Structure 1
Amino acid sequence: MSTVPFSERAWSHVADRYADICRHPFVTGLADGTLPDQIFAGYLVDDAHYLAGYARALARIASRLDDVEDVGTWATLAAGAVAAERTLHLGELSRRGLDVDGRPPSPSCVAYLAMLAQHALDSPVEVAVAAVLPCFRVYVEVGRQVAATAGGLDRHPYGPWIATYDSADFEASVRRAERTADRLAAGSTFEGSMLTAYAAATDREWHFWDEAWRAGGQALRR
């Protein structure tokens, strides 16, 4: 049995796909500030839809956990961390005069949320936990990397977004979620399914960025 925690083995398992995310023009444009604001705004709308569904998946997982401490942790993640992110998104959209309800979620968003909802309802709880982890880990890693290459965030066009994910509070939330996964994986016979769910969700993260890039580019060409 491996002594390396599941969360670290899972992250190594998706290293190539994470590298694809970092190379994506949406993320590189986010880092250097050249991402067109119209594309970023479209992403924010879609991500606000996503976060609402993500919070529901986290709440459902919290209700299924056996350990009382884990239940509290995951209820807090659903009610607190996600709410804070969504507040940022809605604030940024309001500043741009955009309404989430005026645009439906993208196909990538719908597919991603459907996958998470199915896991949260039907999969072994450790598999459901593994499926929602990449959203946490990808964003803290992207936030850290983008902040390192963006320079000072006070004048960066996307500084508030970057600062949200490159923060000690957000990283602490990620680590709390990963500790639950590590404990569950240690006594589970479903570790292979956990890795599969983790990899599938990481792939969905790439498609989410890509959908925003392509849809925004089409809108700019009209």
Structure 2
Amino acid sequence: MQSPFPIPPFALECKTFAKDSFGASFTHPFVLALADGTLDPKLFRFYQIQDAKYLEAFSDACAILSTKVKDPEDKLWLIDAARMALVVESQLHLGYGKTLGYDTNTIANTEPTPNNLAYQNHMVATALQGTVLEGFCAIAPCPWLYIELGQHLLREKGSIPEDHPYASWLLMYSDPGFNEYMTELLKRVQKYAELSDPSAKNRAKISFQQSCNYEWMFWEQAWTSQTWPSR
């Protein structure tokens, strides 16, 4: 699959290392049903609320990383990324909330699923305890996969019908405007890879792969409406 943005050498190593994990999301039944419009609205509602919870942790991870980098441009980029996760994507969540019956209070009062919480903990713990490169590699799969997935689905469909129930989601993630975001993110992955020793780079690739696994698990938790065991 041709990438819609340039992939520097170390980012390509990460994607190759996590090839099976990264590619698995493209054929998950939740994604296929979302793309063809047959996804049960209840499952999409479940997914959207959990995604909003996830983005709070993504924002936290970016904010933590901003305190660990020295370059002011990298600090600003991470701060902007933290803000965008909460502000820009929340517009999509709350837009669907009006039709699916949820709001900011619903999101605040919803417990993350086991898969969601595990993914959140992975990102935040890596940002806190790992190197800057590991932190960037933990957050990179989410936007990377969504952007490639959104543009892949658009190519597959040719166009998004106005009456498609998930048109807003498909149009958002197929927007080529996100390509600049990924270009800037992967540029920083490459920058910090060049400052890292082989051991740190290997840990970063594992961190990237783990996030790819969690991405598949995120579709799965929504597809199955995952809950915690009875307490």
TM-score over 0.5 for the alignment?
yes
Give 1:158 deviation, angstroms: 0.6
Matched to 1:182, the amino acid is Q
Give 1:197 deviation, angstroms: 0.3
What root-mean-square deviation, in Å, do the aligned CA atoms of Structure 1 and Structure 2 show?
Answer: 1.6
Percentage identity across paired residues of the two chains: 28
**What aligned pairs does 1:68-217 form with structure 2 within 5 A after superposition?**
68-98=72-102, 99-153=106-160, 154-189=162-197, 190-215=200-225
CA distance in 1, matches of 2:74, 2:36: 38
CA gap of 1:82–1:102, structure 2 versus 1, over 3 A, is: closer
* TM-score (normalised: structure 1): 0.91
Matched to 1:178, the amino acid is L
* TM-score (normalised: structure 2): 0.87
2:19 maps to which of 12, 15, 19: 15
On the 8 A contact 1:143/1:165 being kept in 2, the answer is yes
CA distance in 2, matches of 1:149, 1:30: 13
Match in the other structure for 2:49: 45
Give 1:51 deviation, angstroms: 0.6
Matched to 2:18, the amino acid is V
Size of the alignment, in residue pairs?
Answer: 214
Q: Secondary structure at the match of 1:105?
A: coil
The answer to whether the aligner puts 1:60 opposite 2:64 as a matched pair is: yes
Identify the structure with the greater helix proportion: 1
The runs of 5 or more residues in structure 1 that have no matched partner are: none
Q: Secondary structure at the match of 2:181?
A: helix
On the 8 A contact 2:56/2:85 being kept in 1, the answer is no
Q: Secondary structure at the match of 1:215?
A: coil
Q: Once superposed, which parts of structure 1, at least 4 consecutive aligned residues long, lie more than 4 Å away?
A: none
The runs of 5 or more residues in structure 2 that have no matched partner are: 1-7
